[in-house]
Amino acid sequence: MTATKRITIKATRFDPDKDEKPRLQTYEIPFSDDSMVVLDALNYIKGHVDGSLSYRWSCRMGICGSCGMMVDGVPKLTCNAFLRDHWPRPITVEPLNNFPVIRDLVIDMDDFMHKLKAIKPWVIRKQPVPLGGGAFVQTTAQIDEFRQFSQCINCMLCYAACPVYGLNNEFLGPAAIALARRYNVDSRDEGLGQRLPVLADAEGVWECSFVGECSVVCPKGVDPAKAIQQTKLDTTMRFVLPFGNRD
């Protein structure tokens, strides 16, 4: 074993009861294994240096969506942001941009939870379908229509990357619109007509001016920018072709 390398982590600290504004605190920790990620570094700090550092995490395999933070200014899942890509430079870890901060690296994402509900993210049928009839028939090609939009893990990286959301928090935002599209183009769903009023609202798809950064930062290969532009087309078609829409 060679002497253990060390790496410097600068993490945002903020306790609303004590601090007026966030500050960066510097920690130097052992970088003992090349497989270590930023989340491992935070866990080391919390476990062995300073137990008061607060952040969210769970699955550490890039699927639960808890551990999104700004890593050197870029929104990332800290569970797959490797230390070796930064060492020997220090790494700055901050809470996701564009959200109110509750504490340290923990953001308040209730706004998204309300928006998620607003777009009615469930299968809407005009008539209830009895279970006894069995499963719907759906071809792989039909699944391919919505597959990528169903991969959203609600990690909020796209909201942190979206300057439109940063300037106007009323904007429905990338993930919510991608999930609306996930249901709108599902062959089992008949709810387009119910979702379009929310999507076509002033704070809906038309607020997007196509920066495209949401799709760049998405860790799951979702292209919310595409969902938004396609939904713009949907709302337009509905406006110009009153008889031509399906709902």
Partner 1 sequence: MDPTSYDVLIIGGGLAGIRAAIAVAETNPRLKIGMVSKVYPMRSHTVSAEGGAAAVLSKDDSYDTHAFDTIKGSDYLADQDVVEAFVREAPLEVVQMEHWGCPWSRNADGTVAVRPFGGMTTWRTVFAADKSGFHMLHTVFQTSLKYDQIHRHDEAFVTKLLVENSRCVGVTAIDVRSGQMYAITAKATILATGGLGRIYAFTTNGNICTGDGMALAYRAGVPLKDMEMVQFHPTGLPFTGILITEAVRGEGGYLLNNQGERFLKRYVPNKMELGPRDIISRAMTTEFEEGRGFEGPHGKYMHLDVRHLGEATIDRRLPFMRELGREFVGIDIVKDPIPVRPVMHYMMGGVDADISGATLMKGLYAAGECANVGLNGANRLGSNSLSECLVFGAAAGRAAAEQVGSLAAAGANPIEAMLKDETKRVEGGFLDKKGGDERIAEIREDMQHSMDEGAGVYRTKEGLTELTRRLDGFRERFERIKIDDSSRVFNTELTAAIELGFMLDCAVAVAHSALAREESRGAHARRDFPERNDEKYLKHTIAHHTEAGPRLEYRDVTLGKFEPKARAY
Partner 2 sequence: MPRGWWTRRSNYFWYIVREFTSLPLALWLLWFLLEIRRAQDGPSGYHPHSSLGFVIFSVIVLLFALYHSVTFLSLAGAILHFNVADRPIPSQLIVLSQFAAWAAASVVVGFVLIYFAR
Binding site for partner 1 (CB under 8 A): 15-18, 33, 35, 46-48, 50-52, 54-66, 80, 102-104, 106, 108-109, 113, 116-117, 120-123, 129, 131, 134-140, 142-143, 146-147, 150-151, 153-154, 179, 183, 186, 188-189
Residue 231: name the closest of 111, 115, 138, 119 by CA: 119
Query: Using CA atoms, how far apart are residues 165 and 158, in angstroms rounded to an integer?
Result: 9
11 forms bridges with which residues in the sheet?
A: 25, 93
Closest CB to partner 1 among 32 and 211? 32
Closest CB to partner 1 among 42 and 164? 42
Q: At its nearest, how many Å lie between partner 2 and the CB of residue 98?
A: 8
- Contact set with partner 2 (CB under 8 A): 73-74, 97-98, 139, 141, 144-145, 163, 166-167, 209-213, 216, 223, 225-226, 229-230, 232-233
Which of partner 1, partner 2, none does residue 59 bind (CB under 5 to 8 Å by kind)? Answer: partner 1
Query: Using CA atoms, how far apart are residues 77 and 68, in angstroms rounded to an integer?
Result: 4
Query: Using CA atoms, how far apart are residues 102 and 109, in angstroms rounded to an integer?
Result: 10
Query: Using CA atoms, how far apart are residues 11 and 52, in angstroms rounded to an integer?
Result: 12
Which of partner 1, partner 2, none does residue 5 bind (CB under 5 to 8 Å by kind)? Answer: none
Contact predicate 194/120, CB 8 Å: yes
Q: At its nearest, how many Å lie between partner 1 and the CB of residue 121?
A: 4
Closest CB to partner 2 among 40 and 223? 223
Closest CB to partner 1 among 103 and 181? 103
One-letter amino acid for residue 149 of the chain: F
Contact predicate 29/90, CB 8 Å: no
Which of partner 1, partner 2, none does residue 225 bind (CB under 5 to 8 Å by kind)? Answer: partner 2
Q: Are strands 5-13 and 91-94 parallel, antiparallel or unpaired?
A: parallel
Query: Using CA atoms, how far apart are residues 170 and 152, in angstroms rounded to an integer?
Result: 20
Closest CB to partner 1 among 182 and 232? 182
Q: At its nearest, how many Å lie between partner 1 and the CB of residue 210?
A: 26
Q: At its nearest, how many Å lie between partner 2 and the CB of residue 224?
A: 11
Alpha-helical runs (H) found in the chain: 38-44, 110-118, 140-146, 157-161, 163-167, 174-184, 192-199, 213-217, 224-240
Which of partner 1, partner 2, none does residue 54 bind (CB under 5 to 8 Å by kind)? Answer: partner 1
